[in-house]
């Protein structure tokens, strides 16, 4: 099983999340992302706007958004 990236480059994380349907809706000190979820709801996610995102922060954000570990890691690997 692959592990979470320790210090993931922000741009690569955003590309990975975009491939999962998320789009940036606001950017400042933090980046707000959103996607349409089943049932007509909107799923949101907020990440710090740092050059790299720590693995624990990324893991927690994905967990809260309901993104499966392997699904994210596949998208992250493809987002080179």
The per-residue pLDDT for 39 is: 85
Domains and CATH numbers, the chain: 7-78 (3.30.920.30)
Q: CA-to-CA distance for 3 and 73, rounded, in angstroms? A: 8
The per-residue pLDDT for 4 is: 85
Per-residue pLDDT of the chain (80 residues; tens, 9 = 90+): 578 888 999 999 999 999 999 999 999 999 999 999 888 889 899 999 999 999 999 999 999 999 999 999 999 999 98
Q: CA-to-CA distance for 47 and 41, rounded, in angstroms? A: 20
Residue 2: burial class (beta carbons within 10 Å; 0-12, 13-18, 19+): exposed
The per-residue pLDDT for 3 is: 82
The per-residue pLDDT for 52 is: 96
The per-residue pLDDT for 13 is: 96
């Amino acid at each position: 099983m692959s592990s979470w990236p320790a210090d993931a480059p922000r741009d690569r994380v955003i590309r990975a999340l975009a491939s999962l349907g998320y789009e940036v809706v606001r950017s400042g000190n933090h980046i707000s992302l959103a996607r349409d979820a089943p049932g007509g709801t909107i799923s949101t996610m907020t990440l710090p706007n740092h050059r790299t995102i720590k693995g624990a922060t990324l893991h927690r954000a994905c967990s809260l958004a309901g993104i499966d570990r392997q699904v994210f890691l596949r998208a992250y690997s493809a987002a080179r």
